[in-house]
Structure formats: structure tokens, C-alpha cells
Amino acid sequence: MSIGESLAEGRRQAGLTITQVSQRTRIRESIVRAIEQGDFSACGGDFYARGHIRAVATAVAMDPAPLIHEYDETHEPPGSISAAEVFEPSKPIKISEPRSFGLGKVLIGALLLVIGFAVYHLVSTNSHHNPQAGVAAAADQVTAKPRPTPAVTPSKVRTVAANPVLVLSITATENCWVEITRTNGTVVYNATIQAGNTLRWTERQKVYVQLGNPGGVVLKVNDRKEELKTSMPIVLTVAPGKGVKVLGPSGTVRVPMASAAG
């Protein structure tokens, strides 16, 4: 019984129609009918034919392995070769035997050896007759030792420390009389700062600061707020790098006079 007849018989025993097999396998009815008639040309090749046989056999509850084996035996592609033929070449490989070294090559080698010996003898003879040339040649091959590089002593660089800067800022929340005097008696400022105004000074030395209404100002030194815990007129000293120091009430502390500046 052929493959197609076996599949048709299996379909009938399963009680299925070609249409039902087509619906289960997703294979067109015309292809299923052709396979049952032994025509596999519509499958599109051996690979697809084997797949169709397997699908139809599974749909009708048959073992597809014997059917596929039978297909492979009856549809063996032309020109196929066995595994033994793959590993055995059709034409034997001819291995050439190694050639003899040859008399010509031997003569050439001997000639080169004689020429080399003659050159060596000539050079050796010249070096004995002219020893200075040999010494000069040897001297050329000596690599001169590099002279040590004298250590460079770095020159002393004078580092001038920058004088600290004093930035004095007074913001008046109430009207306040302010006098700022340098240690040499020079008056930097002497007036009343009106409420709502801010004045700034930059100094590089200690100054005296007199405040008529300390409670009515905000005093900052280098953007740092200083606490003034009195509302009575006072005298302060403000020095770069040393901050603020309260000397005492105004009038009791002697402040350098402007005339002292000369």
C-alpha cells in the first residue's frame, strides 16, 4: 500500500473527510487529495512533503515515521552520495617525493664559504698593519657616557603675604551718628547715616568706630554680623583679622585726633 493509500485509509478509519483533515492541518484540500493519490508535486519540495505527510498522519491518528521513511526511500534525490564517498576522494592524491638537494646547490654553498673566509682574512690582515685604524674603529663603537646634568637650584622666591582686608558695613535701621578714624588720626567718615541706608568701607589697618546709636544699626565685618548689646554711644576697634573689640562708652575712650595726622 502506497503512502497516499495509507493516509486515505487512515482518514476513513478515523471517520474524517478531506475537508476536516484540511481544517485540522491547515493544508489546502487540493493538496491533501493529491497526497492521497500519491502526487506530491504540489507540496513544493521534499521538505514540505515530509511536513505534510507528518501533519496528515497525526490528524488521522497514524504514526508518521514509517510513512516518512518510505517517502525518503522512494524519493531519494538524484546524484546523492553516501557518507563513505564524501570522505573518500574520487581521485587519489598524488604525494610527490622530496627532491634530492642537488649538486649545484652544494657547489654554490662551498663557493660562498670560500668567499667569506677570504674576506675575513683580508680584514684581519689590514687591522694588523694599521693598529690605529682598529683602535679608532673600536672607539667608534664605544658609547659615550652621558654627562650628569647639574642640579638646578630653584631661586628663592620672596612670598609677600597679602595684607588682610577689612570690609566694614553699617546698615542703619534708625538714624545713627557714625565716626570712623584711623590710628593716625585720619577721619574716614563723620556723619549721620539715615535709616534705611547702608555704607561700606574697605580698610587695611585698624580703625576706631564710634556709634551714637548702636541699637539702630547692623554692623558687619567681612560680611559677618557683629552683636552690639548696648544702645548707649560706644567706641569700637575693628582690625583686619582680629574682629571687633568694644573699648567703652563714647567720651570715655581717647580716639586719635585728626590733627595728629599732621
End-to-end CA distance of the chain: 140
Three-state SS string over 93-132 comes to CCCCCCCCCCHHHHHHHHHHHHHHHHHHHHHHHHHHHCHH
Q: What is the pLDDT of residue 34?
A: 94
Please check the confidence at residue 142 and state whether its pLDDT lies above 90. Answer: no
Q: Which three cell numbers stand for residue 239?
A: 582690625
Confidence label for 81 from pLDDT (cuts 50, 70 and 90) = very low
Q: What is the mean predicted confidence (pLDDT) over 157-182? A: 81
Q: Where are the domains of the chain?
A: 3-74, 166-261
pTM of the model as a whole: 0.38
Residue 92 is classified by DSSP as P
Confidence of residue 157 (pLDDT cuts 50, 70, 90): very low
Residue found under cell 507540496: 43
Which amino acid is it at 152?
V
Dist CA 176 CA 255 (whole Å) = 19
Rounded (10°) angle between helices 29-36 and 3-14: 120
Sorted by sequence, the CB contacts under 8 Å of residue 86 that are 6+ apart come out as none
What pLDDT score does 251 carry?
Answer: 74
pLDDT band of residue 160 (cuts 50, 70, 90) is very low
Cell numbers 476513513 label which residue? 12
- On whether the CB atoms of residues 177 and 200 are closer than 8 A, the answer is no
| Residue in 214, 223, 218, 217 with CA at minimum distance from that of residue 243 | 223
Pairwise CA distance, residues 56 & 21, whole Å = 7
The per-residue pLDDT for range 21-59, each reduced to its tens digit, is 999 999 999 999 999 999 999 888 899 999 999 999 999
Mean pLDDT for the stretch of residues 211-218? 90
15: left (phi over 0), alpha (psi -120 to 50) or beta: left
- Average pLDDT across the chain, whole number: 79
pLDDT confidence band for 89 (50 / 70 / 90): very low
Rounded-to-integer distance, Cα 194 and Cα 212, Å: 12
187 with 181: CB under 8 angstroms?
yes
Q: Does domain 3-74 have CATH number 1.20.120.1200?
A: no
Which pLDDT score is estimated for 95?
52
**Angle 46-59/64-74 helices, nearest 10 degrees?**
150
Phi, then psi, of 179 in degrees rounded to 5: -135, 130
**How many percent of the chain have pLDDT more than 90?**
42
Q: What is the dihedral of CA 32, 33, 34, 38, to 10 degrees?
A: 100
